[in-house]
Amino acid sequence: MIDLDLVRADPDLYQTACKNKNISLDIRKFLKTDDERKKLIAEVQKMQTERNAVSKNIPNLKGAEKEKEIKRMKALGEDLKKKEAELAVLEKKWLEMQLLLPSVPLKSVPIGKDDSENVRLRTWGEIPKPAFEPKDHVSLGQSLDIIDIPRGVKIAGSRSYFLKGDGARLELAILQFTVDSLVKKGFTLFAPPLMANYAAMMGTSYFPGGEEQAYAVGVDREPQAGLGEKESKQIESDKTYLIGTSEVSVASYHSGETFEVSELPKRYAGLSNCFRREAGTYGKDAHGLYRIHQFQKVEQVILCEADPEVSAELHAEILQNAEDILQALELPYRIVAVCTGDMGRGQVYKNDIETWMPSRKWYGETHSCSTFYEFQCRRLGIKYQDKDGTKKFCHSLNNTCIASPRILIPILEIYQNRDGTVTIPEVLRPYMNGQGFIKK
C-alpha cells in the first residue's frame, strides 16, 4: 500500500511506475475518485452533525415547532442513509483502486517489459563439461528410482510427483542444511501455518491480482459425499488459502504490532510446503520438476527500520545467504537485476539467482530476493517507534534461501556420473549418514 500523500503530490511518477510494471491503472482516475470520496465524507459528516444537533434540540421544543423538527430529522435521516450507502460504494471502489497502486522502483532498476530484459550482474562457478552424454534429472530420477512423476500425476494431476528413497532424503538434507546455516547466522526458524486468510494474502500483496495462482480452501467447495447440493452449500466456508510461500504467514506474524526501534531488525526463516496453481503456464516449463504445484522452501523474511541504506544492507545480506548455500553446494549460478516488467506490485528492487541446469543448457531461476520498503508493512500495519517517539511503518524484505525440488535439477544433473550414479555434495553427507552416492 502506498502513502497517498505521495501519489497526490506526484501522480505522473506513479503513472510511470504503472506503465513500467505493466499495471493497468489510471492514476488520474484514482485521484478523481479520491477527491469524490473526500467530498462525500465531508457531506456525510456535516449531515450527521446536523442530525445530532436537531435530535439533541427536539426535547426542548413543543407543539408545532417540535413536529416540524421531527419531520426534518426524519427527512435528514433518510437523506443521510442514502449518502452513507453512496459512500460505502465509493469507499469500496476507492480501496480496490488503492490496492492496485504500485511502489516506485528504485532508479537502479532496469526498465524492461519481461524477464527477457533482466540484466546480468555477476556469475559464480565454472560451467561443467562432462566427458559423457549426461541425462536430465527426470531420466536420472527414474533410473535411480528416486523420482516418480507418472504416479504423482495419477494421484494428484499434472505437475505432481513423488520423491522416493534417497530422493526424499536428499531434499530433506538440503532443507536442513539451509535451516542450520540460517540459524547459525541469527535467524529465528518458523514452521508457519500453511493456510492464510485474505488479510494476510492482501497484506503481503499477493492479493488482489494473484487470486488465480492460489488454492482456495473451503471456497466454492463441491457438494460433499452423503450431502445434497443444498446441504453442502450451507456448510460454512473456511475462506483461507494455501500459501505459495511462507513469506505470507511469516511477514504477517507481527501484523498490527508496533516495535521499539531497538528491537529491529527481525530476521526470520520460514520452512514450509508451498502451493501454486501455476495458472496461465500451460505448456511452459512443464518437463520434470521445474514448475510444479507443491514444493518446499526456506524463506528469509526481514523487518527493519524505514531507512533505505539499512534496507540495502539487509538485501545484500540475505542475497549473500542464498549465495552461500549455492557456493557450499558448488553449483554455478548468476545474479540478475530484475527489470520493472518482471517485478511485483510492491517491490522496489529485486534480484533473481539463476542456477546452471545442464538439461536446459542455460540458467534456471532458483531464488528471488526482494525489497519492499514500507509497502507490505503499511498494508499489514507493522510499525516501530523511533528514538524520538515517532511511529513509522517498517520496511520488509524477503529472499528464497532454497526451494526444492527445483534445486534438485542442478544437483542431480551436475553431480551425475558416467555409471548412472549421483555423487552427493559433500556438505550434505552429514545429513545423509555419511552416504557419498545415490545408486540404484
- Active-site annotation, residues: 276, 291, 365, 368, 406
Alpha carbons within 13 angstroms on the beta-carbon side of residue 237 total 14
Closest CA to 212 of 290, 299, 279: 279
Structure letter (DSSP) for residue 335:
E
The cell numbers describing 413, all together, are 544433473
Which H or E element spans position 106?
none
User: Is 160 in a helix, a strand, or coil?
Assistant: coil
What does the DSSP assignment read for 247-310? HHHHHTTTTT-EEEGGGPPEEEEEEEEEE---TT-TTSS-STTSS-SEEEEEEEEEEE-S-HHH
Dihedrals φ, ψ of 390, to 5°? Answer: -75, 135
Structure letter (DSSP) for residue 416:
B
The cell numbers describing 97, all together, are 483502486
Cα 399 to Cα 301, 314, 317, 346, 431: the distances in Å are 7, 11, 10, 14, 24
Dihedrals φ, ψ of 118, to 5°? Answer: -65, 155
User: Is 22 in a helix, a strand, or coil?
Assistant: coil
Contact 362, 391 (CB under 8 A): no
